Chain A
Amino acid sequence: MIEKISRFLDDDLAHDETLLLLQTIQEQPELKDKLKRYAAVSHAIKTDDFLWVPSDFSTRIQQSIHQHSEDELTYQATDNYSLQ
């Protein structure tokens, strides 16, 4: 699986393999960390600058999206209620 992370970085994975990998990465934090480190090293080699994505980067996006969806549902529920 880790070798697939390396191939994913280099755009070498087929469509289905990529989907499966992304699914697995979501379920296994250690694989997500591996991807982060590989990506940071790849960037550092190319640019001489080490870019680290914080662990909570995607979590904060998820939280905001989740909140947005809840607000939208509340709005729709209110809207439906007002139509009745």
Chain B
Amino acid sequence: MSSYPKNSEQLDRELVLRVQQGDKSAFDFLVLKYQHKIILLVNRYVKDLSEAQDVAQEVFIKAYRAIGNFRGDAAFYTWLYRIAINTAKNDLVARSRRHSNYQVDLQNAEMIEHALQLQDMDTPETELLNQEILATIKKAIDDLPEDMRIAITLCEFEGLSYEAIAQTMNCPVGTVRSRIFRAREAIDHQLTPLLTHGDFR
């Protein structure tokens, strides 16, 4: 795993080159690879997950449109990161302007009441579901056999590489891979029934 950043950048360069040569599916791979990171990054600015997803889509579309100019002086993710930060900041400015106009429009008491009702819609249910999901994940981890629980904890909480986990647990790297995979499968098994809710499609 220590060689991964080099591998990852090499993979990105190859995917970018393919996109530049007209292979759109290569860009899908880049989206798949970075969608979570970009949504999380944007969400740090906009503080609204639904808005963050819209902005993140805009980030990828901007990146696609500009990818012909990407020369590989920086890593692809560094380049994408900059686009994401700029897009998120622009979105904040645009929202702030919209909000100012909205405040002026909201002189009517009925509209204020309606707006508050809309704000309150679906939030408690979603929040409750999120709490249930987090509790399920926590319980699934607690219920894991010790070797799997330690492996997934070192991987996710401590961010250790598979090699480092293997040294810590005094076992082969292949065993670490297997333990982490089985831990994820066990958590996934507990979680999947909760994700049938419409918000998770």
User: Which residues of A are interface residues toward B (Cβ below 8 A)?
Assistant: 2-3, 6-7, 10-15, 18-19, 22-23, 25-26, 32, 34-35, 37-46, 48-55, 57-58, 60-62, 64-66, 68-69
Contacts and interface: CB of A to CB of B under 8 A. Distances in A.
A6 B191 contact: no
A45 B137 contact: yes
Question: For the side of the interface on B, what is the size category?
Answer: 35 or more
B188 A58 contact: no
B36 A41 contact: no
Nearest to B54: A60
A45 to B, nearest CB: 4
Contact of B177 (A6, A45, A53, A62): A6
B33 to A, nearest CB: 7
B181 interface: yes
Nearest to B141: A45
Interface of B: 1, 4-5, 7-8, 10-11, 14, 24-25, 27-29, 31-33, 35-36, 39-40, 43, 49, 53, 56-57, 60-61, 64-65, 130, 133-134, 137, 141, 152, 155-157, 161-162, 177-178, 180-181, 184-185, 187-188, 191-192, 195, 199-201
B35 A53 contact: yes
Given A51-B49, A65-B64, A10 B10 contact: no
Contacts of A25: 32
Given A37-B188, A48-B134, A61-B60, A7 B33 contact: no
Nearest to B131: A50
A23 B18 CA distance: 14
Given A10-B162, A11-B4, A12-B177, A58 B32 contact: yes
A41 B1 CA distance: 21
A16 to B, nearest CB: 9
Contact of A60 (B57, B155, B162, B180): B57
Nearest to B140: A41
A11 B137 contact: no
Nearest to B33: A22
Contacts of A38: 184, 188
15 contacts: A2-B181, A10-B180, A15-B7, A15-B11, A15-B14, A18-B11, A22-B29, A32-B32, A34-B188, A42-B156, A43-B36, A44-B133, A51-B40, A54-B53, A61-B60
